[in-house]
């Protein structure tokens, strides 16, 4: 009958020496190198940054009160026959709608997380 020690004497001799050596040292005094420590996936999960939607960032600006404001709409081109009253009304900026009116604020917060 062949034993494993006969086939690989150097390998087992090194292991038995290490285990007998570390067994003599108390647990509190042993130092384990960082490369030998196995890390679980939960402790090394990476926190990713969310990218800002640049189209939303160009159109919406956050005010001090927390509302989102947009610039004038509908007055860039194609309005040569419009009356001054209509141009004045559409040429104003506005604010994003709240929860009961379409919840634009929730959508903008998702598009611009750092605003």
**Does residue 30 sit within a domain?**
no
How many structural domains comprise the chain? 1
> Is the pLDDT score of 30 beyond 70?
no
Output the domain CATH number for residue 70. 4.10.410.60
- Which of 67, 50, 63 shows the shortest CA–CA distance to 101? 67
In terms of residue numbers, what domain contains 61?
Answer: 54-111
List helix spans (H) across 25-103. Answer: 54-59, 84-90
| pLDDT 10s digits, 70-93 | 988 887 888 888 898 888 888 788
pLDDT value at residue 73? 81
Encoding tokens for residue 101?
């009116």
Evaluate whether residue 22 is within a structural domain.
no
Q: What percent of the chain has pLDDT over 70?
A: 61
Average pLDDT over residues 15-41: 57
Please report whether residue 93 resides in a domain. Answer: yes
Does residue 39 lie within any of the structural domains?
no
Is the residue at 26 inside a domain?
Answer: no
Confirm whether 85 is domain-assigned: yes
Q: Do the domain assignments include residue 41?
A: no
pLDDT, average across residues 58-80: 88
- Average pLDDT of the residues of the chain: 75
């Amino acid at each position: 009958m062949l034993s494993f020690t006969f086939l690989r004497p150097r390998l087992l001799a090194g292991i038995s020496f290490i285990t007998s050596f570390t067994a003599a040292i108390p647990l509190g005094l042993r130092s384990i190198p960082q490369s030998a420590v196995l890390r679980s996936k939960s402790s090394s999960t990476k926190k990713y940054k969310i990218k800002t939607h640049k189209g939303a960032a160009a159109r919406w600006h956050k005010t001090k009160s927390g509302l989102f404001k947009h610039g004038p709409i509908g007055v860039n081109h194609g309005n040569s026959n419009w009356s001054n009253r209509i141009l004045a009304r559409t040429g104003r900026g506005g604010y994003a709608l709240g929860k009961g009116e379409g919840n634009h604020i929730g959508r903008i917060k998702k598009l611009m997380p750092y605003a």
